Structure 1
């Protein structure tokens, strides 16, 4: 069953690609690009900075490899210079020997003596010819060595320049990462401050509520105090008849018309 489903899916994909052609692959590439960008945007900035630091750190092995190549090239150049110097010295000595033999042969002698041994003019001419051939070969070798030395020195200088550029770029990347880290830190502090401001407003609302509760308690306590003072006291002295008579006398001795509206007539008969 699974095999049939796989075959059916493959057939549908093949048919779709044959039918739709380029648009299908275009949509697929667009979708893949969108997914990649979405995944990148969803990653925390701290993680992205850490990834950038790791990428910069990954440059170290490459830089070390290039540094070893430069060091090896320097050593090879030293050997090449020594070889060229030795070749030049041998060329100079060979040239002196050739000039000496040539000068002797111009004397047209039959025999020549060198280092206690005697040679015929034919032997000297043959030796001179061989020396001259070797001289020309060594001279050509020296010229090639000089060209090689010049080319490798130029290559070494270019490698030094590339290494300096790479190190400079690495340092620039490190500075940019530190700058971005500082900016991100400032951003996070600002975001935290904003959140704290929201918390401050919540605290302010809580403080207002507590003040309102305290005010209401103060009002109710004051109300209870007033009730006790004016309405809850007990009169400890009983009213006497003398007090009543004095009050009546005082009342009727007042000028006529004052508080007349308050009089109430009591029918005694």
Structure 2
């Protein structure tokens, strides 16, 4: 009973640990991913382009390795083609010899002469049988070579196509990097132009500040003049009503005199016409 309780408690503890541990692992993985993405976002564009160029450059060893494999495969295909050609030529010669010997045996002669040597009918039959066995073996070999050659040629064609695709993709990546480099240069130039515009704004602010200073100086100078004219001296004389009346009469008298002179001028002008 005690043993069962211990086992049950251990299982519960293990499940609890897993229940707590799994979210922790998930949070940790999420945090690492977030930090990686933040680092990538903070990476300057110039550095990313440099990294892209480096990655494109890293394709060169792989391309060279594939080129070496293709060259090796071409050599093997050439060897198989040569071997198959020689085998086919031997098969043709062997077939011709077998047919010749068979035709001779069909003549049912007691002896046969070949290259100055005399052979009995039994010897010729035995030789034909051996030649026919070798012919069938060589023909099977030729069939295998032909299959191997076909497979190697198909593999070589696929490898060459993939190599062409890889080189084309590499060239496309290089063109895209150059395009992005040009766009980034234009972007940096636009940012520089924007910075110069901010300098113009600062200059305008300075001009407005100087204008404000000049306006304040003008106001203060005018204020000082007003103070001097109206409030700078003490009036020692008492105001006199007669002086005021004389001033009014003199003002309007001068005005009437000026109007009479204008009327006289107009009259003279009319008489002249």
Please, what TM-score do these two structures have when normalized by structure 2?
Answer: 0.71
CA displacement, residues 38-66 of structure 1 (integer Å, 9 cap, x when unaligned): 11111111101100110011001111111
Deviation at 1:33, TM superposition (A): 0.8
Structure 1 residues 200 and 104, CA gap change in structure 2 (3 angstroms): same
Match of 2:30 in 1: 30
CA distance in 1, matches of 2:249, 2:94: 160
Alignment of 1:177 with 2:177, yes or no, is yes
Q: Using the TM superposition, give the Cα deviation of residue 85 of structure 1 relative to its aligned residue in structure 2, in angstroms.
A: 0.7
Deviation at 1:210, TM superposition (A): 4.3
Gaps of 5+ in 2: 1-13, 223-244, 251-273
Whether the 8 Å CA contact 1:74–1:156 is kept in 2: the answer is: yes
Return the alpha-carbon distance in structure 2 between the equivalents of residues 24 and 221 of structure 1. Answer: 76
**1:104 matched to which residue of 2?**
104
Structure having the higher helix fraction is 2
Farther-moved stretch of structure 1 (170-179 vs 125-134): 170-179
Would the aligned equivalents of 1:17 and 1:24 in 2 still touch at CA under 8 Å? no
* C-alpha RMSD over aligned residues: 2.9
1:113 maps to which residue?
113
In 2, Cα distance between equivalents of 1:216 and 1:18 = 77
Within-5 A mapping of 1:238-253: none
2:199 aligns with 199
The Cα of 1:205 is off from its aligned counterpart by: 2.1
Deviations 1:113-155 (A, max 9, x none): 1111111111111111110000011111111111111111111
Q: Which runs of 5+ in 1 are unaligned?
A: 1-13, 223-256, 263-269
